[in-house]
């Protein structure tokens, strides 16, 4: 028996999530003080909007939009974090089924009747 401990799946998820999550307060402050240059959009990986704000910062319109957007930033940051968490969870599920080999099982009358995989966790029966 090995003395190496297996990592907890939930601990790994939280470790990966903490590496990509964004803070709501930082988003608000970026929109309020640097919204003229679109820095708050770069913070949420919305590069296209960030570049657009940088192109038109001289007009003053991005400054007004940045002020108004600071009120919407908490919701946008929560949405960004939820998308990141869903992506990490989906990647984790995909990795857990990576080594599973799918196979078909014949039904009682010799027809294809069930689909399963070698992982042994789930089986779907298609009896007609």
**Contact predicate 124/112, CB 8 Å:** no
Locus of tokens 């240059």? 37
Average pLDDT on 109-124 reads 45
Average pLDDT on 67-77 reads 96
Q: Model-level pTM?
A: 0.69
Average pLDDT on 109-128 reads 44
% of the chain surpassing 70 pLDDT: 69
Element (H, E) at 8: none
């Amino acid at each position: 028996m090995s003395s190496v401990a297996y990592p907890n799946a939930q601990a790994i998820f939280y470790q990966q999530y903490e590496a990509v999550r964004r803070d709501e307060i930082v988003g608000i402050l970026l929109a309020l003080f640097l919204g003229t240059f679109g820095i708050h959009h770069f913070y949420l990986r919305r590069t296209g909007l960030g570049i657009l704000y940088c192109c038109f910062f001289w007009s003053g319109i991005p400054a007004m939009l940045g002020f108004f957007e600071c009120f919407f930033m908490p919701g946008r940051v929560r949405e960004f974090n939820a998308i990141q968490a869903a992506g990490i969870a989906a990647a984790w599920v995909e990795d857990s089924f990576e080594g599973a080999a799918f196979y078909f099982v014949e039904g009682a009358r010799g027809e294809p009747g069930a689909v399963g995989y070698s992982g042994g966790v789930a089986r779907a029966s298609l009896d007609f």
